[in-house]
Amino acid sequence: FRNFELAGWEEIPTQYHQAFGELTSQAIEPLLDAARARKGTKLLDVACGPGYVSALATKRGAIVLGIDFSKSMLEQAKQLHPGIDFREGDAEQLPLGGGLFDAVVMNFGILHLGQPEKALLEAYRVLRSGGRCAFSVWCDPRETIGFAIVLRAVEAHGEPRVALPEGPPFFRYSNPEECTRGLTAAGFESPAVRKISQTWRLPAGDALFYAMRDSTVRTAGLLRAQKPTVLDKIREAMRTELVKYTRGEIVE
């Protein structure tokens, strides 16, 4: 599963930036607030991707290190945010000593790990006493509308049980109780879960379909495994459902 995710992210840094950058960035300020990131905070941005969190934490005056296992993502992060320290590393086995940071954050990164429990243990290990860890995930499909649209279309017209490398359930941490359980098991005290709203704005038509097919890993694997005729039906079903979210040339 790790190799599957890594291979996927190595191929799509530009596509991800274009399709998901503005959306996932909407979670960053609440994430940094939860980690109490401020001037002088030593902050580790795990699974940093294109470096969005690292950049905003740096603007707050934090001392930031961004870690990701994808060389392509790190290259893009360095291009987008020169001057920030980005390094290659695995969230489940951080190449860092213990007790070095005041805060560890992951913005939608825990979804893509084969052993997220290890990542939480590693976050605990590299934090000083009293440090804080914060991560963000999508709500379940009942509230994460973009994912719901593609999953419903696959369920109706395709084969949702294709042979992909087995990983943890994608929406595992959409359950607040699972977040609390996972953090507590890693050693953290008094976990809290906060729900925030986000709005995804895309061009009308097939932009959501192409975002899911070309800018994700697991969902893209699901779509690309479908037969071409089936994929056309999935795309048409998604386009039809998006009509109610369309205003002029924009889907929200």
**What's the pLDDT tens digit per position in 170-225?**
999 999 999 999 999 999 999 999 999 999 999 999 999 999 999 999 999 999 99
pTM of the model: 0.95
Distance between CA atoms of 65 and 145, rounded to whole angstroms?
33
104: burial class by Cβ within 10 Å (0-12, 13-18, 19+)? buried
- Secondary structure of residue 53 in the 3-state scheme: helix
State residue 159's pLDDT score: 85
Distance of CA 105 to the CA centre of its chain: 11
Tracing tokens 């940093």 back to the chain, one arrives at 48
Judged against a pLDDT cut of 90, whether residue 152 lies above it is answered with yes
For residue 12, name the pLDDT band (cuts at 50, 70, 90).
Answer: very high
| Mean pLDDT of the 139-166 span | 92
| Mean pLDDT of the 235-244 span | 97
State residue 161's pLDDT score: 81
Q: In the 8-state DSSP scheme, what is residue 140?
A: P
State residue 120's pLDDT score: 98
Task: Calculate the alpha carbon distances from 140 to 14, 69, 151, 194, 237 in Å.
Answer: 26, 26, 12, 14, 20
Both tokens assigned to 144: 């994460």
